[in-house]
């Protein structure tokens, strides 16, 4: 009794000390980071008692996390999800050091895991030879906690059907809240094409990240709708209305890649049902290679250079789309400007690249001035706007090839898993995971958002789920389909 009382007093004193210290730190520095200390302490205590509960809280926090600068302008993070990722990384390192067999043998044997592990191991090489060592080390550390949080830990969390269902609702509810907030703000600007950026801050970096997240999760909502029993009328109606809400919301992000991503994800659904998905990426790669060869031959690409005076940002989305097809859209031509620079850079450092997060500091001397646009000054320090090229410049051809292989392997595995299952629930979950991945792939063909906390979460979580589902599909006892909820 006395020991329990003493423990209670110590806990109370510790909690009050943390609270007082955080308030004192805030009033001295006026830095909001100090107000996070009680939250961090609470999450640490919950993790010690039940780390899986912390993981569910973590998933819930992802759609609502915001990007902040904590110490002046020198250190930025996303809150509250990124500090939890740090904690998970530390926890995993300690657990793995204590028991290296914590990762089961079946996990290591999975083809997706093999490619991701090779990607991470190769990343060490470009970091060592990086032109910007500090930025590259930060990239490596961030990649480590991303992989732990979204690719490794899920194998310990997603065990039963109820876990997949729980994750769906835990991600959907806060995502809908953010969408409603942004839609309400955007309505105040009469859904103006040029005002979407003002409507999303500080929930998302920009409209591209926002559109990528909701276009990746949209197929998951569609699969949930298909899984819901007809007798559960209210739930099915609610999911149907959610689908109807997602569609105009994706359109009103005014992101062309997100719209293509939804179409491509639907195409992957059809391809898997027809058992033809293994043809998708070979045809895609062959088309891209043919296009590049055509454009490079006799410098054909020079004929497509933009008119500097006529290539600008448009005031309506319809004008934006028309300008895209005419080659007079600023954002599209700025991509070409950077892709050409990246191609030239890769010739100098084909194996190791310039190092992760180094593109911005070296690309302009390699650019072709005739392709420059009004935004080529690049004050926001954005990069290649294509994940393949992002990997090529930062980590060399080995990284680019590994990413290309990862996409092929993911689609191939998804089709095998889908037809291996007898259980309708797991078949549809498999389809949801690969469609989410497919939408992410297309979005990142026109950007490089896999390293951002919200897009990266869905990207690596979709791969982790495929690994888990592959294991489940090989279990003889998987039967008796279960539906939402």
Instruction: Express each pLDDT in 436-457 by its tens digit.
Output: 999 999 999 988 889 888 999 9
Least confident window among 12-21, 259-268, 374-383, 439-448? 12-21
| Confidence tier at 34 by pLDDT (50, 70, 90) | low
> What ranges do the domains of the chain cover?
2-102, 107-485
As a whole number of angstroms, the distance between CA 178 and CA 294 comes to: 44
For 69, list phi and psi in degrees, rounded to 5: -95, 125
What DSSP state is assigned to residue 301? G
Q: Residue 246: what pLDDT? A: 95
Q: What is the pLDDT of residues 343-362, one digit of tens each?
A: 888 889 999 999 998 888 88
Is the whole model's pTM more than 0.85, yes or no?
yes
Q: Which residue has the higher pLDDT, 460 or 301?
A: 460
| pLDDT at residue 431 in the model | 97
Who contacts 473 (Cβ-Cβ below 8 Å, separation ≥6)? 417, 420, 421, 426, 430
Dig out the tokens for 285 from the structure: 């790669």
Contacts 24+ apart (CB under 8 A), 121-124: 122/395, 122/398, 122/399, 122/402, 123/356, 123/395, 123/399
Q: Which string of DSSP letters, residue by residue, matches 88-152? A: HHHHHHHHHHH-GGGS-HHHHH-HHHHHHHHHHHHHHHHHHT-SSHHHHHHHHHHHHHHHIIIII
Read off φ and ψ for residue 76, nearest 5 degrees: -125, 155
Cβ(425)–Cβ(482) under 8 Å?
A: yes
Average pLDDT of the residues in 80-91: 87
Q: Is the pLDDT confidence value at 322 over 60?
A: no
pLDDT of the residue at 444: 93
Looking at every residue in the chain, the average pLDDT score rounds to 82
Top pLDDT among 68 and 93 is at 93
Has residue 115 got a pLDDT over 50? Answer: yes
């Amino acid at each position: 009794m006395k020991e329990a009382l003493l423990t209670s007093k110590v806990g109370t004193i510790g909690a009050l000390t943390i609270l007082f210290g955080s308030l004192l730190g805030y009033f001295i520095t006026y830095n909001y980071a100090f107000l996070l200390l009680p939250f961090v302490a609470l999450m640490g205590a919950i993790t010690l008692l039940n780390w899986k509960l912390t993981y569910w809280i973590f998933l819930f926090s992802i759609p609502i996390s915001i990007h902040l600068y904590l110490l002046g302008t020198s250190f930025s993070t996303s809150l509250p999800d990124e500090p939890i990722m740090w904690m998970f990384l530390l926890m995993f390192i300690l657990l793995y050091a204590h028991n290296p067999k914590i990762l089961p043998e079946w996990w290591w044997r999975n083809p997706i895991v093999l490619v991701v592990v090779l990607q991470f191991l190769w990343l060490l090489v470009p970091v060592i030879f990086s032109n910007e060592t500090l930025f590259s080390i930060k990239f490596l550390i961030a990649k480590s906690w991303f992989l732990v949080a979204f690719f490794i830990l899920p194998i310990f969390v997603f065990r039963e059907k109820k876990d997949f269902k729980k994750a769906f609702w835990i991600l959907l509810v806060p995502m809908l809240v953010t969408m409603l907030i942004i839609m309400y703000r955007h309505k105040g600007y009469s859904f103006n094409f040029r005002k979407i950026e003002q409507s999303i801050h500080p929930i998302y970096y920009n409209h591209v990240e926002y559109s990528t997240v909701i276009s990746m999760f949209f197929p998951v909502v569609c699969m949930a709708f298909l899984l819901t029993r007809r007798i559960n009328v209210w739930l099915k109606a609610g999911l149907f209305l959610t689908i109807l809400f997602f569609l105009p919301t994706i359109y009103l992000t005014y992101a062309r890649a997100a719209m293509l991503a939804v179409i491509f994800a639907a195409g992957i659904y059809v391809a898997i049902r027809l058992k033809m998905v293994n043809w998708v990426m070979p045809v895609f790669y062959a088309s891209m290679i043919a296009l590049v060869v055509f454009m490079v031959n006799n410098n054909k690409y020079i004929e497509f250079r933009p008119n500097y005076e006529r290539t600008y940002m448009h005031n309506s989305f319809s004008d934006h789309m028309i300008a895209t097809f005419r080659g007079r859209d600023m954002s599209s031509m700025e991509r070409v400007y950077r892709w050409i620079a990246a191609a030239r850079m890769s010739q100098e450092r084909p194996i190791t690249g310039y190092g992760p997060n180094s593109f911005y500091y070296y690309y302009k001397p390699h650019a072709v001035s005739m392709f420059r646009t009004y935004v080529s000054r690049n004050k926001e320090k954005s990069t290649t706007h294509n994940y393949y090229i992002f990997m090529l410049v930062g980590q060399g051809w080995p990284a680019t090839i590994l990413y290309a292989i990862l996409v092929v392997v993911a689609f191939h595995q998804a089709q095998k898993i889908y037809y291996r299952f007898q259980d309708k629930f797991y078949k549809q979950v498999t389809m949801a995971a690969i469609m989410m991945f497919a939408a992410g792939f297309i979005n990142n063909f026109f950007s490089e958002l896999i390293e951002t906390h919200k897009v990266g979460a869905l990207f690596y979580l979709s791969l982790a789920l495929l690994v888990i589902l592959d294991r489940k599909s090989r279990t003889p006892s998987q039967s008796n389909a279960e539906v939402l909820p």
